[in-house]
Chain A
């Protein structure tokens, strides 16, 4: 079975500071990894995905994530956050075309 662990339930950060949201996955086979974002009162939307190839993946709104197979991690980073980045971020994993398993979410609170 596959699973993801998001170590931080909430991350407060000042505006224009860098941020890292942590995600570790567990799977005995190769996986696809994703980050989704949920803005207040909205559904989730896909932020970025790792399927294969380069381990550094760039997504929308200046976010990027790095796939680290040896550490089974897929941390999300942004060098400078804006107020508009305040949202809940979900790490997710799937194997091929099978169902996606979501983490418990990390709430990013950007402080002015």
Chain B
């Protein structure tokens, strides 16, 4: 069974802080993704990675960066958190030939005050 874990379920940070969200998967998947989920907007892709040290911008990369130093771990970084980054953040992974078959973590609800 694929397992995707995220470092925190709930996180509260102050405006201007640097925030790290960690994601780990245990199925040796090449692809990993970061989404944010907002009511009425569904899931929006922030960044994805198809291999170690590789990354591609998604639909809303502004204000975010990512790091993938190891295959199993994909980190999302908010360089200077702002209140409009308050959201649910979801991490996912997939096999390389089945990008649509994504396995999601439980999410991190981030509140920036």
Interface residues of A, Cβ cutoff 8 Å to B: 6, 9, 32, 34, 36, 41-46, 49, 90, 92, 94, 97-100, 102-105
Within the complex, the shortest CB–CB distance from B8 to chain A, in Å, comes to 14
A92 to B33 CA separation, bound complex (whole angstroms): 15
Across-interface contacts of A9 in B (CB, < 8 A) = 40
Within the complex, the shortest CB–CB distance from A48 to chain B, in Å, comes to 11
Partner of B104, one of A34, A45, A99: A45
Q: With A9-B40, A99-B45, A104-B42 given, is the CB distance from A46 to B99 under 8 Å?
A: no
Across-interface contacts of B96 in A (CB, < 8 A) = 97
Contact with A along B34-72 (1 / 0, CB 8 A): 010000111111001000000000100000000000000
A44 touches B42 (CB 8 A): no
Interface residues of B, Cβ cutoff 8 Å to A: 4, 33, 35, 40-45, 48, 58, 90, 92, 96-107
In this complex, which of B33, B96, B102 has the most chain A Cβ atoms within 10 angstroms of its Cβ? B102
Across-interface contacts of A103 in B (CB, < 8 A) = 42
B106 touches A41 (CB 8 A): yes
Q: List 21 A-B contacts (CB under 8 A).
A: A9-B40, A34-B100, A36-B102, A42-B107, A43-B4, A43-B104, A44-B90, A44-B92, A44-B104, A45-B103, A46-B102, A49-B100, A49-B101, A92-B100, A94-B99, A97-B98, A100-B100, A102-B35, A102-B43, A103-B42, A105-B42
Partner of A32, one of B90, B97, B100: B100
Across-interface contacts of B42 in A (CB, < 8 A) = 6, 90, 102-105
A34 to B94 CA separation, bound complex (whole angstroms): 15
Across-interface contacts of A41 in B (CB, < 8 A) = 106
